[in-house]
Amino acid sequence: MPLTIAEGQCASIPIESIALPESIILGDQIFVPGYPAQLEGNNAGAPVLRHGIVASVPGRPTTDNPHFLLSCFTNNGDSGAPVIVRNEANKKNKTSEINLLGIIIGLHRETITTTSPVEERTVHRPMSIAIAVHAGIIQETIELMRAVGP
């Protein structure tokens, strides 16, 4: 049963909502609820919801290629944020059921170093490219934890 977002409520994501790497589609619209630079969405501590698109899909085999890229502006503080997508069937029905595609683990940036006789400057420019680990890795981790037990 997929997670349904209701106004003012938050629930854990059921394991059935974890998407397989094969279901990550290039160009799909994604959403990332996170805490960019430790910013909260309101006084209750809600995350800030941003959106983007899937910019690459995991390579095959996914055991050797656990990452994919998103065209989505992310900041420090977004690591661990879920990457979610609405179910294709529910886009037509305009319901809010979602699937977990992955988790943000980093961001790409361009680094430029300029050297002059009196100083050296290094500038890091964000590229609006986030790095995510696909949800299949999350599912494997959960299964390993279940096998080990408490």
Could you report the per-residue pLDDT of 2-16, keeping only the tens digit for each? 444 445 555 667 777
In percent, how much of the chain has pLDDT > 90?
Answer: 33
**Residue 133's pLDDT band (cuts 50, 70, 90):** very high
Give the integer Cα–Cα distance in Å for 136 and 101.
8
pLDDT at 96 over 70: no
**Burial call 2-14: b when 16+ CB within 10 Å, e when fewer:** bbeeeeeeeeebe
Give the integer Cα–Cα distance in Å for 19 and 83.
10
Could you report the per-residue pLDDT of 64-87, keeping only the tens digit for each? 888 999 999 888 778 899 999 876
pLDDT at 91: 55
Give the integer Cα–Cα distance in Å for 145 and 5.
27
Structural domains of the chain, count: 1
Could you report the per-residue pLDDT of 114-128, keeping only the tens digit for each? 999 999 999 988 889
Most confident stretch, 32-36, 59-63, 146-150: 32-36
Q: What is the mean pLDDT of residues 73-102?
A: 77
Q: Which two tokens stand for residue 20?
A: 């397989």
**Whole-model pTM above 0.85?**
no
Domain that holds residue 23: 3-148
CATH number, domain with residue 116: 2.40.10.10
Q: Tell me the β-bridge partners of 68.
A: 132
pLDDT at 89: 53
